[in-house]
Amino acid sequence: KGKNAMGLPTLEFSDSFLDSPDFRERLQCHEIELERTNRFIKDLIKDGNMLISALKSLSLAVQRFSQSLQEFQFECIGDAETDDEVNIAQSLKEFSQLLSTMEEERKRLIQNADDVLISPLEKFRKEQIGAVKEEKKQFDKETERYYSVLEKHLSLSSKKKESQLHEADSQMSKDRQIFYDASLQYVFKIQEVQERKKFEFVEPLLAFLQGLFTFYHEGYELASEFEPYKQQLQFNLQNARNNFESTRAEVERLMKRIRSAEEDFKAPSCFTMEGYLYIQEKRPLGSVWTRYYCTYERSSKMFTMSNTEIRPASRQNGVVHNTPEMFRLRSCVRRKTDSIDKRFCFDIEVVERHGVITLQALSEANRRLWMEAMDGKEPIYTLPSLLSKKEETFLNEAGFKFVKKCIELVEARGITTLGLYRTGGVNSKVQRLMTSVFASTAASDMQLEADAWDTKTITSGLKDYFRCLAEPLLTYRLHKDFIRAARYDELNHRVRAIHALVHKLPEKNRTMLDLLTNHLLKVSSHSDENMMTVSNLGMIFGPTLMRSQEETVAAMMNIKFQNIVVEIIIENHDKIFGEAPDLSVPLPQAPSSRSTPRRSKAICLSSGKRRARLYPPALCLADNDSDTFSSSSSTTPMGSQESLSSHSSEKNGLSQTSPPSSPAAEPSSPSSKQSSPPAASSCSLPQNGKGQKPPTDSASSPHLLPSASWTSTQLTPTQQTSSVSSSTSSLLSAVEKSIKRNSVESLASGKESGSPSRASTSTSSAQNSSVERASSLREAGPVQRVADAKALYSCEAEHSHELSFPQGALFSNVCPSVEPGWLQATYNGRTGLVPENYITYM
Rounded Cα gap, residues 287 and 612, in angstroms: 73
Determine the pLDDT at residue 838.
86
Burial of 53 (0-12, 13-18, 19+ CB in 10 A): exposed
State the pLDDT confidence band at 551, using cuts at 50, 70 and 90. confident
Are residues 550 and 557 in contact, defined by beta-carbon separation less than 8 angstroms? no
Are residues 549 and 383 in contact, defined by beta-carbon separation less than 8 angstroms? no
Q: Helix/strand/coil (H, E, C) string of 110-171?
A: HHHHHHHHHHHHHHHHHHHHHHHHHHHHHHHHHHHHHHHHHHHHHCCCCCCCHHHHHHHHHH
pLDDT digits (tens, 9 = 90+) for 239-257: 999 888 888 888 888 888 7
Mean pLDDT of 463-489: 91
Among candidate residues 646, 586, 605, 663, the one with its CA nearest the CA of residue 820: 663
Rounded Cα gap, residues 399 and 405, in angstroms: 10
Helices (H), ranges, 525-572: 527-530, 534-545, 553-556, 559-571
SS3 content of the chain, % helix, strand, coil (to 5): 50, 10, 40
Higher-confidence residue of 514 and 447: namely 514
State the pLDDT confidence band at 768, using cuts at 50, 70 and 90. very low
Are residues 495 and 568 in contact, defined by beta-carbon separation less than 8 angstroms? yes
pLDDT greater than 80 at residue 552: no
CA angle 275, 278, 282 (to 5 degrees): 145
Among candidate residues 49, 30, 216, the one with its CA nearest the CA of residue 121: 49
Fold category of 397-578 in CATH: Phosphatidylinositol 3-kinase; Chain A (1.10.555)
Mean pLDDT of 302-322: 68
Rounded Cα gap, residues 114 and 95, in angstroms: 29
Q: Which CATH architecture has domain 787-841?
A: Roll (2.30)
* Buried residues in 215-224 as b, exposed as e (16+ CB within 10 A): beebeeebeb
Among candidate residues 78, 81, 70, the one with its CA nearest the CA of residue 103: 70
Are residues 508 and 471 in contact, defined by beta-carbon separation less than 8 angstroms? no
DSSP state of 695: P
Rounded Cα gap, residues 72 and 75, in angstroms: 10
Rounded Cα gap, residues 755 and 605, in angstroms: 16
Q: Is 294 helix (H, G, I), strand (E, B) or coil?
A: strand
pLDDT digits (tens, 9 = 90+) for 284-301: 777 889 999 999 988 889
Cα 181 → chain centroid:
75
Q: Is 552 helix (H, G, I), strand (E, B) or coil?
A: coil
User: Percent of the chain scored above 70 by pLDDT?
Assistant: 70
Number of neighbours of residue 776 by Cβ within 10 angstroms: 16
Mean pLDDT of 772-798: 63
Number of neighbours of residue 818 by Cβ within 10 angstroms: 17
State the pLDDT confidence band at 224, using cuts at 50, 70 and 90. very high
Are residues 508 and 395 in contact, defined by beta-carbon separation less than 8 angstroms? yes
Q: Is 629 helix (H, G, I), strand (E, B) or coil?
A: strand
Number of neighbours of residue 523 by Cβ within 10 angstroms: 26
Distance between first and last Cα of the chain: 65
Determine the pLDDT at residue 308.
76
Rounded Cα gap, residues 411 and 525, in angstroms: 12
Mean pLDDT of 126-146: 92
Are residues 85 and 247 in contact, defined by beta-carbon separation less than 8 angstroms? no
Mean pLDDT of 519-548: 93
Burial of 257 (0-12, 13-18, 19+ CB in 10 A): middle
Between the alpha carbon of residue 371 and those of residues 331, 498, 548, the distances in Å are 10, 34, 20
Are residues 778 and 653 in contact, defined by beta-carbon separation less than 8 angstroms? yes
Q: What is the pTM of this model?
A: 0.47
Q: Greatest CA separation found in the chain? A: 159
Q: Which helix (H) or strand (E) holds 100?
A: helix 83-113
Determine the pLDDT at residue 44.
92
DSSP state of 702: G
State the pLDDT confidence band at 311, using cuts at 50, 70 and 90. low
Rounded Cα gap, residues 673 and 371, in angstroms: 36
pLDDT digits (tens, 9 = 90+) for 600-657: 444 444 444 433 333 333 333 333 343 333 333 333 333 434 443 344 333 333 333 3
Are residues 490 and 481 in contact, defined by beta-carbon separation less than 8 angstroms? no
Determine the pLDDT at residue 759.
36
Domain 273-309+324-374 falls under CATH 2.170.190.11: no
State the pLDDT confidence band at 761, using cuts at 50, 70 and 90. very low
pLDDT digits (tens, 9 = 90+) for 676-727: 333 333 443 444 443 443 443 433 333 433 333 333 334 333 333 333 333 3
